Amino acid sequence: MAEKPLRLLACGDVEGKFDVLFNRVRTIQKKSGNFDLLLCVGNFFGSTPDAEWEEYKTGIKKAPIQTYVLGANNQETVKYFQDVDGCELAENITYLGRKGVFTGSSGLQIVYLSGTESLNEPVPGYSFSPKDVFSLRTMLWSTSQFKGVDILLTSPWPKYVGNFGNSSGEVDTKKCGSALISSLATGLKPRYHFAALEKTYYERLPYRNHIILQENAQHATRFIALANVGNPEKKKYLYAFSIVPMKLMDVAELVKQPPDVTENPYRKFVKQASIGKQIPAPEEDSACQFFFDLNEKQGRKRSSTGRDSKSSPHPKQPRKLPQPPGPCWFCLASPEVEKHLVVSVGTHCYLALAKGGLSDDHVLILPIGHYQSVVELSAEVVEEVEQYKATLRRFFKSQGKRCILFERNYKSHHLQLQVIPVPLSRCATDDIKDAFITQAQEQQIELLEIPEHSDIKQIAQPGAAYFYVELDTGEKLFHRIKKNFPLQFGREVLASEAILNIPDKSDWRQCQISKEEEETLARHFRKDFEPFDFTLDD
């Protein structure tokens, strides 16, 4: 038998307008039936005279519903909250306290944190400190099988809550709000989080509390900021909702994901809490110059094992390369290949400058044989692709750049692994990641995080259409293409103002240059890449 849900109301800054609030509550209850609780965040008391409050304090007037409020956010209202552990302020009106957990008879769990953020000692009576947040989080984490809480009440907004979400209007969530509350919300995983103080209404799209393909599904969080009571713009200050306590819910029902769920806006906090060990880069190979020419081999190529292919007394018979069904612009033996763009050739793969590249050193890693995608590569080809990746990372790092890789296996016949360098001074890796996720959501593309060292072959089957991005940290973002997909999506994101700020180059056809200019760029790239190129003989 399904549990009967509790019917709750949440309210923003009351600011001493008690009659306006409670009259509105009476009207709602008359129309929709009784509610169980009213939860008030933000400034409950205002700077107005106390005459109205005295009527409630002395019992002349009474709140029509059991009301729970947070404490002071400024020195002026500290006087109303004498007991830091909470107390009854008037009949049916209770101050929850500075911080803690309120558990109702139904099992509903409400975590509350009064005041505004302070990083200074001593902490004012209207503020909370990092220690307060830490102790609150530790208290809840210490309980066995902690999964999250039903409701979190804070007065300030959490910083960054707008990341990956719908617009927060005039409130800039990268500047406003509390980073400590962001951290608290990350750890406590509330199903509902209410806040106020910004005098506006903002209901963020629900966000997930787990990492796709790395963790089991968890419940989503809904963040709702409420406006001030009786505001002239008629912004929403009262929010009605129904909730069944988490502990009484079936797990499958609890973790159901809303159709509009987004990425967690506080991912950076999660990342900082669990920094993985870095994998050392392979040793660099010393090398001399080798220029690729399809007809005349200058120098000797190493096999993928590192042995000289000419010195072996029993040379291995080369495996027959996969052949394209028709003409291919990227199979190395094909007459269609623009050979002047090739800058390095390995045993199974080669490197070429991108035609119409985003930058002069935008390159492609391509298999010599005909493979449509990374998923279809044989083991030895994968090994050399990874070797090229590692080498390019070292090469671009020496030039003060990080490289971003992406593949679009959609409306393409030969694997093209795009490698685009981004100057370290332009933006951080997290900014690049955020840009991809944000633009994907704007275009209703579901871009999922997958484990850093996972194999794309574990996620996509041969023949399946997909798009994936690999960041310089090894993190990957993946989208399974089901119907249509914007062909220039990867370029558009990297060319955007947030990253390279060259939006006019988002279409490669607008970036084409003459063959002579391409030859010059390729010659310069070969020269710069020479000390790093593992394909060259010692």
Residues 6+ apart with CB under 8 A from 247: 107, 109
Buried/exposed 155-165: b ≥16 CB within 10 Å, e otherwise: bbbbbbbbbbb
pLDDT of 141 reads 84
Asked whether residue 430 carries a pLDDT value surpassing 60, the answer given is: yes
**Residue 293 binned pLDDT confidence (cut-offs 50, 70, 90):** very low
pLDDT of 452 reads 62
d(CA 138, CA 308): 59
Asked whether residue 35 carries a pLDDT value surpassing 80, the answer given is: yes
Bigger pLDDT: 214 or 235? 235
Asked whether residue 1 carries a pLDDT value surpassing 60, the answer given is: no
Asked whether residue 314 carries a pLDDT value surpassing 60, the answer given is: no
Specify which of 335-344, 455-464, 488-497 reaches the highest per-range mean pLDDT. Answer: 488-497
pLDDT of 385 reads 95
Asked whether residue 522 carries a pLDDT value surpassing 60, the answer given is: yes
Is the C-alpha dihedral spanning 470, 351, 498, 411 positive or negative? Answer: negative
The angle at the Cα of 161, spanning 41 to 434, to the nearest 5 degrees, equals: 180
Average pLDDT over residues 165-193: 94
Q: Go through the domains of the chain in sequence order and give each one's CATH number.
A: 6-271 (3.60.21.10), 339-536 (3.30.428.10)
**465, burial (CB in 10 Å: exposed 0-12, middle 13-18, buried 19+):** middle
Average pLDDT over residues 77-89: 90
pLDDT of 183 reads 93
**Residue 433 binned pLDDT confidence (cut-offs 50, 70, 90):** very high
Average pLDDT over residues 142-160: 91
**Residue 280 binned pLDDT confidence (cut-offs 50, 70, 90):** very low
Asked whether residue 493 carries a pLDDT value surpassing 70, the answer given is: yes
Average pLDDT over residues 412-426: 93
pLDDT of 171 reads 95
**Residue 140 binned pLDDT confidence (cut-offs 50, 70, 90):** confident
